[in-house]
Amino acid sequence: MPYVIGADCVDVNDRACTDVCPVDCIYVGDRKSYINAAECIDCGACEPECPVEAIFVDRTARGDEEKSRFVTDSAAFFSEILPGRTAPLGNPGGARKIGDLGVDTEFVSQYDA
C-alpha cells in the first residue's frame, strides 16, 4: 500500500486530494477518505495537496502505532463488508463512478479524533 490517509483527515475530509488524483483512487467515506492501494499508481500527487497533512507513505508507519492502525484500516475499507453493504468494495476502478460512500470502517466510525 503506497499512500494512506490518516487521523488528521477524520472529520475534516477536505477532498483536495481527490481533485488531483489522476487515477481516481481516493474514495470518500463518511468521516474520512481512503486510498485504494490496488488502484493507486504511487504518483504522490495527493500528498502535497492535503491541507492537514493527513496523507503519508505506508512505509513511514513502521514503528508508529497510530499510523499503522490507519494502514490496516485503509486495507479493511476495501476488503471487509462495510455497514449497509452486502459485499466488500474491492477494486471498483474509480471513485467517481460509485460516488461518496457515506460510510466508514468500524475503526474510523468509532475513532475519537
- Split at pLDDT 50, 70, 90, the class of 2 is confident
pLDDT in tens, 35-72: 999 999 999 999 999 999 999 999 999 999 999 999 99
Name the E strands within 33-112.
33-35, 55-57
Which one, of 19, 20, 1, 5, lies nearest residue 52 by Cα?
A: 5
For the domain made up of 3-109, give the CATH fold.
Answer: Alpha-Beta Plaits (3.30.70)
The pLDDT score that the predictor gives to residue 1 is 55
Residue corresponding to grid cell 497533512: 53
CA–CA separation, 62 vs 28, rounded Å? 25
What pLDDT score was predicted for residue 87? 96
Question: What is the pLDDT, as a whole number, of residue 5?
Answer: 98
CA proximity to 81, closest of 108, 111, 110, 106: 106
What are the residue boundaries of the structural domains of the chain, listed by start?
3-109
Q: How many CB atoms lie within 10 A of CB 58?
A: 18
